Amino acid sequence: MSRPAGNTSRYVQVRDLLKQVRDFHGQMARYFEGLSTQAEKVRVRLLLEYMSSHETNLQTSLAAFDEDASLAVLDTWVDCRHCEEIIATCEQTPIEPELSVDGVAQVAMDVDACLLHFYEEVAKKADSESVREVFRNMISMEQAELRQLARNALSAMDF
């Protein structure tokens, strides 16, 4: 599939978007793992370890999706004018939080909200129904992850 005409710098293939998000999840896994080694409170350390594992699992899921997805979807070009800005915002969100359960949960929720915005932007801009469906599924997955995170953060508070 050829690149659309026009301002080509804003068009990217779905495979590249997925790689960017996959790499971001890997970065977040390492970030949370690093914070877990600094955490003094057991509850905070457990939540950070969960978050690191969670991000690694998302990275692995995206890699598996990339292997299983059709080339037609992966090779599709999408208008992603604001995607770089959104991912940059996600990368800037995890500034050293105070090492508390609330601080960790807030950073994780901010990142998840940022990723939701990213997926919504791609789903909105995609011309292909197959690509829109992929990113709608990612929105649903991210929303489920947000709910799970909230439950785990509440459990860590009760620990």
The domain segmentation of the chain, as residue ranges, is 12-158
Give, in words, the CATH class of 12-158: mainly alpha
User: Please, what is the angle between helix 42-68 and helix 129-158, to 10°?
Assistant: 160
Alpha-carbon span 152 to 51, nearest angstrom: 10
- Span 99-135, pLDDT tens digits: 788 888 888 888 888 888 888 988 888 888 999 999 9
Nearest to 145 by CA among 50, 67, 80, 46: 50
Alpha-carbon span 93 to 75, nearest angstrom: 30
Q: What token pair was written down for 95?
A: 């500034």
Give 59's contacts (C-beta < 8 A, 6+ positions apart): 22, 25, 26, 29
Count the residues in the chain: 159
In this prediction, residue 11 carries a pLDDT of: 85
In this prediction, residue 136 carries a pLDDT of: 92
Q: Are 58 and 145 in contact (CB under 8 A)?
A: yes
Alpha-carbon span 122 to 87, nearest angstrom: 12
| Residue-level pLDDT, tens digit, the chain, 159 residues | 444 444 446 788 999 888 988 988 898 899 889 888 888 888 888 888 988 998 898 899 888 888 888 898 999 998 877 667 767 776 666 556 567 888 888 888 888 888 888 889 888 888 889 999 999 988 998 888 888 888 877 777 655
DSSP state, residue 18: H
In this prediction, residue 97 carries a pLDDT of: 53
Torsion sign over Cα 52, 36, 117, 89: negative
